[in-house]
Amino acid sequence: MKKVTIRTVANRAGVSPATVSRVLNDPLKVGADTRRKVQQAMAELDFQPSAIARGLSMQHMDTIGLLVPGINGLFFNELYQGIDEVAGEHGMKVLLFDAQLDHHRALDGFTFLKQHHVAGIIFTSGSITDDYQAMIDRLGIPVVLALTHSRMRPLSAFRTDDVKAAFDATAYLMARGHNRIAMVSGPPENEVAGATRLQGYRQALTRYGAEYVEELVDFGDFHFHEGYRAMERILARVGKEGFTAVFAASDEMALGAIRCLAEHGLRVPEDVSVMGYDNLYVAEMVTPGLTTVAQPFQHIGRLAVECLLQAIAAGQTETCGGIHLLPHQIIERGTVKALSQ
């Protein structure tokens, strides 16, 4: 039987999930007619408020904060779907702050969200630095990390194992006969998704007997145009015959690399194979479809919210704790060609 949630009740009653939450938490603030519609829908659906919902009703908070590095990153939409879905099931709203890839603006984001009385925060904006950690310690509300983690304090974190995923992507190419593999990496100073994915690439080359060649590696900021420029620099250094495959540390950079290769007369996958990372929705919209490493963005978002709501309901700043590594998956489409052995 499908779980009955606040959103289910809201759909039956023809109101918003926030209205259902107010009927549960503070019914006198809801008009009598609306309150009766919601209560009737609850009875018809045999709705039982969860322990989380009861905890929230005691706290009188119905908003969680989401701090993201930039809403122009294509991964954000997929992560947000999971976050918004679970939040809505519990009658919670999501207040978004876009850090615009700026460290100091991200610090301002913590203050902004706290001033707007959010019950807790999901943070996705890069590495946890000393000043981020100091700010989190002062907030007095629970914070959960998504797609990152903290080395300084055991904050709950949900992400994939980027080293292992990049290792598997490189090994996938090598198993298909590719030994001269270029990499379009994220920034090496980015310890969350830059250095880790480069490390996995290097480990796979070493494990399976291929040489690491610095000229075959270049760096970008995970976006399309930087992928194009990084691929252009690699081509300038080693030429069209210098590699048979490219592993890019994001799908956007993979697509930028493919554009660059095409403009230099190289076909994918006939002349060069390309592997991405993320499995964004655009990976299956291009021709040929992009072979890539899938991160479970929506599931990460769902688990982060569930962990946060448990802490809020318990009236605690400490969350479920630990780094939770979710499994990645290689999605085969049309950009990788097996070389004849």
Q: What pLDDT sits at residue 51?
A: 53
Q: What pLDDT sits at residue 315?
A: 80
Tell me the mean pLDDT in the region 335-341.
Answer: 87
The full set of domains in the chain, from first to last, is 58-160+298-326 (3.40.50.2300), 162-294 (3.40.50.2300)
Task: Judge contact between 50 and 90, C-beta under 8 A.
Answer: yes
For residue 328, the 8-state DSSP code is: P
Among 4-13, 78-87, 159-168, 273-282, where is mean pLDDT lowest?
4-13
Amino acid identity, position 103: H
The answer on pLDDT for 85 being more than 50 is: yes
pLDDT in tens, 159-176: 999 999 999 999 999 999
**302 or 138: which leads in pLDDT:** 302
The answer on pLDDT for 238 being more than 50 is: yes
The answer on pLDDT for 235 being more than 60 is: yes
Q: What pLDDT sits at residue 60?
A: 45
d(CA 1, CA 118): 33
The answer on pLDDT for 341 being more than 70 is: no
Which position has the token pair 């890019």?
A: 248
How much of the chain exceeds pLDDT 70, in percent? Answer: 93
**Across the chain, what does the average pLDDT equal?**
89
pLDDT in tens, 258-272: 999 999 999 999 999
d(CA 171, CA 160): 17
Q: What pLDDT sits at residue 169?
A: 98
The answer on pLDDT for 184 being more than 60 is: yes
The answer on pLDDT for 142 being more than 60 is: yes
pTM of the model: 0.82
**Chain centre distance of CA 213:** 30
Among 202-206, 312-316, 323-327, where is mean pLDDT lowest?
312-316
pLDDT in tens, 30-39: 888 888 898 8
Model confidence at 57, in pLDDT bands (50, 70, 90)?
low
Q: What pLDDT sits at residue 16?
A: 87
* Number of alpha carbons in the 13 Å side-chain half-sphere of residue 150: 22
CA distances from 26 to 18, 23, 60, 64, 292 (A): 11, 6, 8, 18, 48
Amino acid identity, position 208: Y
6-13 vs 75-89: helix crossing angle, rounded to 10: 80
